[in-house]
Amino acid sequence: MLPTSSSTPKVALVGAGGIGRGWAALCAANGWETVLFDTDARAADTALAESARRARALVAMDRADAGLVDRGLDRMQLGRSLLQACGSADWIIESLPEDLALKQRVLENIGQVAGPEAIISSSSSALPISESAARCREPGRCVLAHPLNPPELIPLVELVPARFTAPRTMEVLRDWLRELGRIPITLKREVPGNVVGRIAGAVWRECIDLVLNGVVDVDDLDRAVSLGPGLGWAAAGPHLTYHLGAGQGGVELFLEQLLQAFENWWGSLAQWTRLEPEQVRALVNQIEQAYGDRIGPLGEARDRRLAAILRALEESRRA
């Protein structure tokens, strides 16, 4: 049976790590009923408190309504079994570690206890839904829905169907994501790392290479990205940025003028596909020297900046 739409679905979150907590905070911030489940009961207990903190932080950043958050947190609970968490859910979000055998086993079990109309999505950034849901009952309701971190702030969600994913599944899930204020994009086919992971991986490899080869320090590299192309791409994306780069001539003139320069750069970019242990140690050392152990304050500052950028982008679209 294919899934049907629900204006306010009941959501089950399977996996109480950082991504699962972000999904929980987002759903709670919209007043939705949520159930958190993890086989590690202590992790689930911690996740409940952390999800609530992250939802309330959205209010402080003017990204959520306090009344809706209170309503959502009142409706958030822990599931003590997979059946209890998923049995009456409309949408089940799996956010487990990137372990194919684990995902296959859990998604198969979810398919056995979920209602016949429930949608099942995987938050994976690395494993295709065609593999992780291969043993799931009624795979037509399964789809990959990959959020960016933190999910409660960054609106983009990658939707990647398998060949067996039903069109109705995609339609309903897009509606639900939009109700949550998300912006879904749909990939036409599965590729390793999806779209975002491939872009991020390519950029990060070059960033790592520049740091390890002594071209630039970690903190200046991060400024170069966040205040350089990252800032421009937030407003326009790479193709539109370059299309605008040559004025009325558009991307054709831009390529005419600068393609050779890009081709020269491409020829000198990093091509390696793995980091040796000593390179990992060197990278970790340089990042820790730059930022120390201030994970909490740095994360809070990052979230405030993200919220401010989103507000500015939203206001510019309304202008």
312 within a domain of the structure (yes/no): yes
285 within a domain of the structure (yes/no): yes
Cα–Cα dist 41/125, whole Å = 25
Q: Which whole number is the average pLDDT over 262-287?
A: 97
Same domain for 214 and 143:
no
Same domain for 204 and 161:
no
- CATH number of the domain encompassing residue 274: 1.10.1040.10
DSSP E strand boundaries for the chain? 11-14, 34-37, 76-78, 91-94, 119-122, 142-147, 156-160, 183-186
Q: Of the ranges 3-12, 51-60, 101-110, 182-191, which one carries the lowest mean pLDDT score? A: 3-12
Average pLDDT value for the chain: 95
Same domain for 201 and 125:
no
301 within a domain of the structure (yes/no): yes
Q: What is the pLDDT of residue 4?
A: 57
Please count the residues of the chain.
319
Read off the pLDDT band of 1 (50, 70, 90).
low
Q: Among residues 152, 186, 220, which one ends one of the domains?
A: 186
- CATH number of the domain encompassing residue 25: 3.40.50.720
111 within a domain of the structure (yes/no): yes
- Which structural domain, as residue segments, surrounds residue 70? 11-186
Same domain for 313 and 241:
yes
Same domain for 155 and 43:
yes
Q: What is the pLDDT of residue 6?
A: 55
Write the pLDDT tens digit of every residue in 307-319.
Answer: 999 999 999 988 6
Q: Among residues 186, 203, 218, which one ends one of the domains?
A: 186
293 within a domain of the structure (yes/no): yes
Same domain for 72 and 41:
yes
Same domain for 141 and 205:
no
Read off the pLDDT band of 43 (50, 70, 90).
confident
Write the pLDDT tens digit of every residue in 133-157.
Answer: 999 989 999 999 999 999 999 999 9
Read off the pLDDT band of 10 (50, 70, 90).
very high
Q: Which whole number is the average pLDDT over 295-312?
A: 95
Same domain for 227 and 117:
no
Cα–Cα dist 153/55, whole Å = 10
5 within a domain of the structure (yes/no): no
- Give me the torsion for CA of 163, 168, 172, 178, rounded to 10°: 60
**Count of domains observed in the chain:** 2
**For residue 27, is it left (φ>0), alpha (ψ between -120 and 50) or beta?**
alpha
Same domain for 218 and 128:
no
Cα–Cα dist 90/88, whole Å = 7
155 within a domain of the structure (yes/no): yes
Question: Is the separation of the CB atoms in 86 and 37 below 8 Å?
Answer: yes
DSSP E strand boundaries for 7-149? 11-14, 34-37, 76-78, 91-94, 119-122, 142-147
2 within a domain of the structure (yes/no): no
With a pLDDT cut of 90, the percent of the chain lying above it is 93
Same domain for 178 and 290:
no
Same domain for 226 and 94:
no
Tokens encoding 59: 């209010």
Write the pLDDT tens digit of every residue in 208-243.
Answer: 999 999 999 999 999 999 999 999 999 999 999 999
Q: What is the pLDDT of residue 137?
A: 85
Q: Which among 206, 187, 207, 208 is positioned nearest to 196, based on CA atoms? A: 187
Q: Among residues 167, 186, 205, which one ends one of the domains?
A: 186
Q: Of the ranges 3-7, 106-110, 153-157, 266-270, which one carries the lowest mean pLDDT score? A: 3-7
Provide the pairing of β-strand 91-94 with 119-122: parallel
Same domain for 163 and 74:
yes
Q: What is the pLDDT of residue 5?
A: 55
pLDDT above 90 for 163: yes
